[in-house]
Amino acid sequence: MSAPGAPVRPGGPGAAGAAAAGTLASVPRRPDAQGRLEARLRERREAGRKLVVPYLTGGLGDDWLEVLRAVAAAGADAIEVGIPFSDPMMDGPTIQEASRRALEAGATPLGILGALAAAEVEVPVAVMTYYNIVARAGERRMAGALASAGVAASILPDLPLEECGPWVAAADEAGVENVLLAAPTTSEERLAAICARSRGFVYAVGLLGVTGERRHLASSAREMAARCKAATDLPVLVGVGISDADQARTVCADADGVVVGSALVRRLLAGAGPEGAAAFVGELRAALDAG
């Protein structure tokens, strides 16, 4: 039987010093200046408006840029564009399927960013992808590519606070706002640290689980919004599981707005096209404007 193993080289090589990778100390402080996404969301919030941020998968269908423009025109305050990844561990069946189709159609990170650069949408765009896509390109190169494509922000759901140092350093330098996520399991202490480092907005994950539509709004959605609102003055958007206009309106009693992904992507997978997407986002907009 093995003896309880004594640490041989605690920390391992490369982990020495105050700013060891994987620690809070390795995460640079948030810059003081507001980014473009945060400024836009604050301005809209101050005008008394609830925020709608639709998600769509980049490269899904030949007309995805038209979808993007249509959604912008239908009243989106910002848009999340997914760069598809082969192994999307935070995504349920709908976005998995969209990612698969986009990859099969030849979508690549640089292809999507190139298309976004040419599209010149006026609404701020946040790219949502998984960290391996960034790590493979290299932090500085990816941050530069996002900035030159006119992308305002990044959302990486598998890059938690302690591990985000190298990315946020590069993103800050390039002027890209990295949005952090808070989950129902997040402690108050972590929540404060997440809110202190997030840029653009705070992404409050509305339930314990992966993306996908739910028949009923999880009770954790409003709780998460309230907890985040109490911890920060940044805009707080609830995402994951927000499935229709009713749920969006309900959660906005506490939240500044919503991120709506699978409900839109399901419609796109079924062939809704730019008009169908715009109609759905219009419904969300109208419900939130009606209060």
Partner 1 sequence: MLDPGPTGRFGEFGGRFVPEALVPACLELEAAFASAWADEAFQARRSGLLASYAGRPTPVTECRRLSDRLGVRVLLKREDLAHTGSHKINNVIGQALLAERMGKRRLIAETGAGQHGVATATAAALLGLDCTVFMGEVDVERQALNVFRMRLLGAEVRPVGSGSRTLKDAVNEALRDWVATVGTTHYCLGSVMGPHPYPYMVRQFQRVIGDEARAQCRALLGGSDPDVVVACVGGGSNAAGTFAGFVDTSARLVGVEAAGGAALGNGVPGVVHGMRSMFLQDEEGQILEAQSISAGLDYPGIGPEHAFLAASGRASYFSVGDAEVLDAFKLLAATEGILSALEPAHALAWVARAAQDGGIEAGSTVLVTLSGRGDKDVAQVMDLLG
User: Would you count residue 5 as binding partner 1 (CB under 8 A)?
Assistant: yes
**283 labelled catalytic:** no
User: Would you count residue 146 as binding partner 1 (CB under 8 A)?
Assistant: no
Q: What is the DSSP letter of 262?
A: H
Q: Which span sits near partner 1 by CB under 8 A: 44-52, 79-87, 147-155, 277-285? A: 79-87
User: Would you count residue 186 as binding partner 1 (CB under 8 A)?
Assistant: yes
The helix/strand/coil state of 237 is strand
Contacts for 26 with CB less than 8 Å, ≥ 6 apart: 19, 20, 162, 165
Q: How far is the CB of 51 from partner 1 (least distance, A)?
A: 21
User: Would you count residue 144 as binding partner 1 (CB under 8 A)?
Assistant: no
Closer CB to partner 1, residue 221 or residue 284?
Answer: 221
**80 labelled catalytic:** yes
Alpha-carbon distance values, 62 to 109, 114, 262 (Å): 16, 14, 19
Please answer whether residues 74 and 287 qualify as being in contact, where contact means their C-beta atoms are separated by less than 8 angstroms.
no
User: Would you count residue 137 as binding partner 1 (CB under 8 A)?
Assistant: yes
Closest CA to 143 of 155, 129, 132, 154: 154
Alpha helices in the chain (DSSP H): 36-46, 64-73, 93-104, 109-119, 131-137, 139-148, 165-174, 188-197, 219-231, 245-251, 262-269, 273-290
Out of 42, 49, 140, 190, the residue judged to bind partner 1 by CB under 8 A = 190
Out of 114, 121, 147, 158, the residue judged to bind partner 1 by CB under 8 A = 158
Closer CB to partner 1, residue 121 or residue 169?
Answer: 169
Q: How far is the CB of 170 from partner 1 (least distance, A)?
A: 15
- Tell me the one-letter amino acid at 273: G
Cα separation, 155 vs 215, whole angstroms: 26
- Positions that interact with partner 1 (CB under 8 A): 1-5, 7-15, 20-23, 85-90, 92, 96, 100, 103, 108-110, 131-137, 157-163, 180-187, 190, 194, 205, 208-210
